[in-house]
Structure 1
Amino acid sequence: MLSYQHHYHAGNLADVHKHALLAWMLDYLTQKPKPLSYIETHAGRGLYDLSAPEAMRTGEAAKGILRADQWFAPAHPYARALAALRQDHGPDAYPGSPMIAATLLRAQDRLHLAELHPGEHAALKSALDRKNIHIHHQDGFALAQSLCPPEPRRGLLLIDPSYEIKSDYADLPRILTTLHRKWNVGILVLWYPILTSGAHHPMLDALSAAHPTTLRHEVSFPPVRDGHRMVGSGMFIINPPYGTDAQAAILSGHFARLS
């Protein structure tokens, strides 16, 4: 059984990178009235409390969203999602990617969220009990394979594993290529950590070779504490919506000013 729980890391700088781009892309998709599908393979619990002992113990949110809040104007979709959640759940609430999607998407859109960890799955069901949200207690890669191409065919798939299973690095190029073949119009988004070990390099080499016209965006930041191995965050996006590269460049500017 997987042991990873994101509560210790919620709101860190990798979340800021990932969630800001995700929120912008989802908001862009909703500019057209047609319904869409959102699929997430590793959903987590959806709702986090940054004042909880787990979050306070690591201090990652203090160096993450609590510092980066000022980067986003109130009209930015990430800021809107944060504001909506804080209004409903208090100032220490933080949305995981499923909650961001649920906040920004509409009643006609369909969400499929997979979470294998039993405790996180139960929390996710409690946080997101809505008619158009389908929560699956199963392997997220298997769910994505079974759903693609989804109905509606417009939409976005987020793959956001913990990389606790080291074989994910070797398996993801094949998985992403298969999903793209099944759902060639879908926006396929892979998040990955940038580690001091460089474990992500072979995976990205394989992905870039198979998908040379995609958007690959990476940001770097100081380790949150001595010995911490994550020093950046990456997003590999197949079929990025128009303007995503410009949004990514804005984020790069913010992260470049960190010290």
Structure 2
Amino acid sequence: MLSYQHAYHAGNAADVHKHALLAVALDYMAKKPKPLSYIETHAGRALYDLAGPEAAKTGEAAAGIGRMEGWFPDDHPYAQALDAARQLGGPQAYPGSPIVAATHLRDTDRLILAEKHPQEVAALKKAISWAEIHAADGPALALSLTPPEPRRGLILIDPSYEVKTEWTAIPDLVAKLRRKWPVGVVMLWYPLLESGAHLPLAAKLSEIGGEAVTSTVRFPPARPGHGMTGSGLWVANAPWGWKEAADALAARFASL
């Protein structure tokens, strides 16, 4: 949806959950010598300014990374991505998932990003000029590219869910990707909503089966009336140690 702008939400509690565990997965995968492919269906602009008016308007970054950064020591893969973003954009920069991925990928790996919004595509090309950037529909591109070469890899599916059909279309996309790319790590993010609108999606995911784990965390609303009260990650073929890292992070969220 071209009206969605992640700059208003960058660095929120859901981003901390999602990006920390994405970083853990890619850090482990990159420790093995074989090259890998990283595909992202909803890339955004890659680099965000938390001192900008968008972040100030919602207060989500202040309630997210502003409150939670101390959870991550300097050698944590997520802390490394935060440092990389600040080297690129200054002390108030925040890494979108493309920067998280770029921090941990190597010269032998592929970074494939899809984004539909023209301004976000332009920002992507400026932030990560060496990536394979497609101004295209992410789900359609993912289906056309899988299985990728190299076949080993991870795909992140991270929609805004502002389009109502995404709630039903995304589980179908995940099922198709699992059939086309059974060895790939498939990571899907979804919000936990006070309204319960996410529950049918979560139920459909549970029906897909296979080697999948789910990490969910809850957090206070960033502001009065904000309907997102948690974050979910569904992961097929999760790398070794990922579930333990997810459980440890969930315990930190439980202390809020």
Report 1:102-251 matches (<5 A): 102-130=102-130, 133-211=131-209, 213-251=211-249
CA distance in 2, matches of 1:4, 1:88: 24
CA distance in 2, matches of 1:61, 1:17: 13
Deviation at 1:89, TM superposition (A): 2.1
Per-residue CA deviation, residues 155-201 of structure 1 (Å, 9 max, x unaligned), is 00000000011111111121111111100000000000000111111
CA distance in 2, matches of 1:18, 1:25: 11
CA distance in 1, matches of 2:14, 2:171: 21
Paired residue type of 1:10: A
CA distance in 2, matches of 1:184, 1:209: 16
CA distance in 2, matches of 1:89, 1:169: 34
Deviation at 1:57, TM superposition (A): 1.0
Give the equivalent residue in structure 2 for 1:63: 63
Equivalent residue of 1:61, what SS?
helix
Per-residue CA deviation, residues 210-258 of structure 1 (Å, 9 max, x unaligned), is 2254111100000011110000000000111111110011111110111
**Unmatched 5+ stretches in structure 2:** none
CA distance in 1, matches of 2:129, 2:249: 32
Paired residue type of 1:12: N
Kindly indicate whether residue 252 of structure 2 is the aligned counterpart of residue 254 of structure 1: yes
Paired residue type of 1:154: R
Kindly indicate whether residue 13 of structure 2 is the aligned counterpart of residue 13 of structure 1: yes
CA distance in 1, matches of 2:95, 2:248: 22
Paired residue type of 1:216: T
TM superposition outliers: structure 1 runs of 4+ over 3 Å: none
Give the equivalent residue in structure 1 for 2:46: 46
Report 1:19-30 matches (<5 A): 19-30=19-30
Paired residue type of 2:181: W
CA distance in 2, matches of 1:84, 1:42: 21
CA distance in 2, matches of 1:50, 1:93: 6
Equivalent residue of 1:143, what SS?
helix
Per-residue CA deviation, residues 62-98 of structure 1 (Å, 9 max, x unaligned), is 1110111100011110001111221332110000000
Paired residue type of 1:126: K
The alignment's TM-score, normalised by the length of structure 1, stands at 0.97
C-alpha contact 2:47 2:89 (8 A) present in aligned 1: no
Equivalent residue of 2:61, what SS?
coil
Q: Percent identity?
A: 60
Equivalent residue of 2:63, what SS?
coil
**Unmatched 5+ stretches in structure 1:** none
Equivalent residue of 1:62, what SS?
helix
Paired residue type of 1:253: A
Paired residue type of 1:229: G
